[in-house]
Every structure is written in structure tokens, then in C-alpha cells.
Amino acid sequence: MAVCLFQPKDQPRWDEFVKHSPEATLYHQIGWKEVIEKSFGQRGYYWLAEDPTGKIIGILPVVHLKSLLFGSFMVSLPYFNYGGVCAQEDGTCMELMDAAIEEAKRAGAAHIEFRHQMPIETDLPVKTAKVSMRLELPASADVLFQSFDAKLRSQIRRPTKEGMEATIGGVEALDSFYDVFSKNMRDLGTPVYSKSFFKNIMDVFPGISWICTVYKEGVPVASGFLLGFKETLEIPWASSLSEYNRFSPNMLLYWTVLKFACERGFKTFDFGRSTEGEGTYRFKAQWGAKPVPLYWHYWIGKEGKLPELNPKNPKYSAAINLWKKLPVGLTKMIGPLIVRNLP
């Protein structure tokens, strides 16, 4: 077995491997290399493993994040729910991870986070607090709707009765999505991605990216960014305006997306990751979504402790509270400079 870094000439066979690999996720496609480099200017390491005949038998994308504020570390992959090694054999997985670890040591990275969807035979420490909430879809939206209890069906109908309507479109809906998304991120105290990040995704993946937006009297009040891969549709980013929550726009948003998924022939809808018992977990579970364990493995450098770079860490509470008070326009300017170094 040989492990080497990706070269531009490898693109066709890299994506061919992803296409036919049952372990591959949406984010293993090599197009994300271009998205990350254009949007964040971050350097990535994209390793591939070959058998003696030169056939690809495993891949591992890793991005190195480095800043004075958060330090130096690597993630596979930052900004997204999934990543990690994509290979069938544990031996191949370890060869690829060892290549990343050696590079991390050379670069002085404090740790590597591998965002796996499955357990791997390794001695590396693992976090399993997060789950992916997934709903298996029937053949039609009508069958899905009838599977909901009466309370949920009533909640789905309510936004329409309140004069709301939903549409699904492409890049022409990006401004509406970003208006809602940026305000919601400010209200949560979270630095916002640049609009160009989402534009880059739609440019690189035009056939598998969509935006669903809910309007009330022409005003966008909820919106979600959709990505499809193989038989799964997922919604990695969704937001709503808190002042319209009493009209339940999120119920119409998610129902419209689920209908779209059924109509397009997707078999699974991925609501994204959650922590069991939290509000987002309960919201997703009411639709019938079931938790699928996630396995985040870590290589730890000289510090010898697992990273806690998350908004629930008390050390970030003051910054989060301050961010919530900033004008949205200002957060759009400085947020992308910060979030490029957040995993």
C-alpha cells in the first residue's frame, strides 16, 4: 500500500472512488477542496491510499486551521458535519490517519479531529456525544404526511393559514437565505460565514444544492440550505427570524424540504447533528428522525487533553454575549474573519 497527497490529475479517480464507496459522505468529494480554499483560504491535505495496482482504496481530507485566537489544529473536516477517513479496511484507515498525524507533528498542530460516521479500530480517544438525526423516507410525501400524528400535521398547516408560503430555488434565493441566516447567527452569538462561501458551494455543486425559503408577505422569515448526495438529502444550515417564531415558519420550511426530498427520490433525510436531549434533538425527533451515533476520534499532541472549542465552553460566554449585541451589518464584516478558524 502507498499513501500520497492528492494531485490535480487524481481528481477523476478520487471522485470515482467516492461515487462507489459506501463509506463516503457528501464531503469526501474533492470539490470541497476548491470551496474551502476559495472561501477560507485554508490549506488542506488530501491523502489517498493506493493498492499495488495503483487503485485508490482509501482517502482522507484534512484542513489545517491556525490563528492566534484559537491556536493551530487540524480537522477532517471543519465547517461540515462529516469527514474523516473513507476506506473499507481498518489497516488502510490507520495508514491514512498516520500520514495526517505525522504532518500534524511537523506543522506543530495541537490536535487532529477526525469526524467519522462509524467506529474505527484505533487507540485514539473518541467523543460520541453527537448524533446524526436521520429520517427514512417513504415513496411519497402523502404517505409521509399521513405517518405524522395529528398534532404535527396541525403544526405543519398553521404557517400556511398565517399567510406564509415556501419556495425552493437555486442561487437566485441566496440573498434571502443569507439575510435570515446572518441575523439568526448574530442572535445566537455565533460568527457568520461569508455569503461567498455559500455561493462557492452552489458554483461547485450546481446540481445538488438548493435553497428553501419561507416568506410572509414577501419577507423571508426562514430559510435552509440543502445538499444532496447519492440517496440522502441534508440541510446543514437552517435559520429563522425569532420575531416570526409564533407563526411556526420552521414547520413549513422542513415540511417543504421533506416533500422535495420525496419528490426527488431521496431515500433518507439528514436533519444534521445534535446532542441527545437538547431542543434541536427533540425538534428533529418529532418528525420521526432517529439518532445515528457519530464517532469523533482525536490525535492529541503535547497538550494531552481533548479540545473543547465549542459555544458551551464557559470561557467563550462573554464573547458570545457581546456578539449578540453587535449590529448585523458589522457581524457580516468581521464574522467571516473569525469563523474561518472555527471548526
Residues 197/201/203/205 CA torsion (nearest 10 deg): 180
Burial 139-168 (b: 16+ CB within 10 A, else e): eebeebbeebeeebeebbebbeeeebebeb
* Mean pLDDT across 272-278: 91
Looking at residue 311, its pLDDT comes to: 63
Question: Residues 319-332: what's their mean pLDDT?
Answer: 91
Q: Are strands 86-87 and 56-67 parallel, antiparallel or unpaired?
A: antiparallel
d(CA 136, CA 170): 25
Give me the pLDDT at residue 318, please.
86
Separation of CA 214 from chain center: 21
Say what the pLDDT of residue 245 is: 93
Model confidence at 302, pLDDT cuts 50, 70, 90, reads confident
* Mean pLDDT score of the chain: 94
- Say what the pTM is: 0.93
Query: What does the pLDDT average to over 26-53?
Result: 95
- What the block records as the C-alpha cell of 169 is 430555488
Please give the helix or strand (H or E) that residue 215 lies within, else none: strand 209-216
pLDDT in tens, 108-160: 999 999 999 999 889 899 999 999 999 999 999 999 999 999 999 999 999 99
Q: Which helix (H) or strand (E) holds 256?
A: helix 249-263
**Mean pLDDT to the nearest integer, 35-56:** 94
Predicted pLDDT of residue 309? 64
Using DSSP's 3-state secondary structure scheme, residue 328 falls into helix
Mean pLDDT of 63-73: 88
Residue type, 194: S
Number of residues assigned to the chain: 343
Residue 317 is predicted with a pLDDT of 81
pLDDT recorded at residue 305: 72
Distance, CA of 167 to CA of 224 (rounded, Å): 11
Residue 274 pLDDT exceeds 90: yes
Answer whether residue 304 shows pLDDT above 70. Answer: no
Report pLDDT for 254: 98
Chain segment 158-217, per-residue pLDDT in tens: 999 999 999 999 999 999 999 999 999 999 999 999 999 999 999 999 999 999 999 999
Give me the mean pLDDT over the 51-68 stretch: 94
Write the CA distances from 149 to 84, 140, 284, integer angstroms. 37, 17, 14
Looking at residues 9-30, what average pLDDT do you find?
95
Q: Which of 81, 51, 45 is nearest to 63 (CA)?
A: 45
Average pLDDT of the residues in 295-305: 86
**Domains of the chain by range and CATH?**
2-128+294-307 (3.40.630.30), 132-291 (3.40.630.30)
pLDDT of residue 312: 66
User: Could you report the per-residue pLDDT of 232-251, keeping only the tens digit for each?
Assistant: 999 999 999 999 999 999 99
**How many Å apart are CA 105 and CA 47, to the nearest integer?**
16
pLDDT of amino acid 310: 65
**In this predicted model, what pLDDT tens digit does every residue of 83-117 receive, in sequence order?**
999 998 889 999 999 999 999 999 999 999 999 99
Cα–Cα dist 50/57, whole Å = 6
Cα distance between residue 12 and residue 19, in whole Å: 10
User: What pLDDT shows up at residue 1?
Assistant: 84
pLDDT-derived band at 267 (thresholds 50, 70, 90) equals very high
The percentage of residues in the chain with a pLDDT greater than 70, rounded to a whole number, is: 97
pLDDT of residue 277 exceeding 90, the answer is no
pLDDT class for 319, splitting at 50, 70, 90?
A: confident
Please tell me the predicted confidence (pLDDT) of residue 55: 94
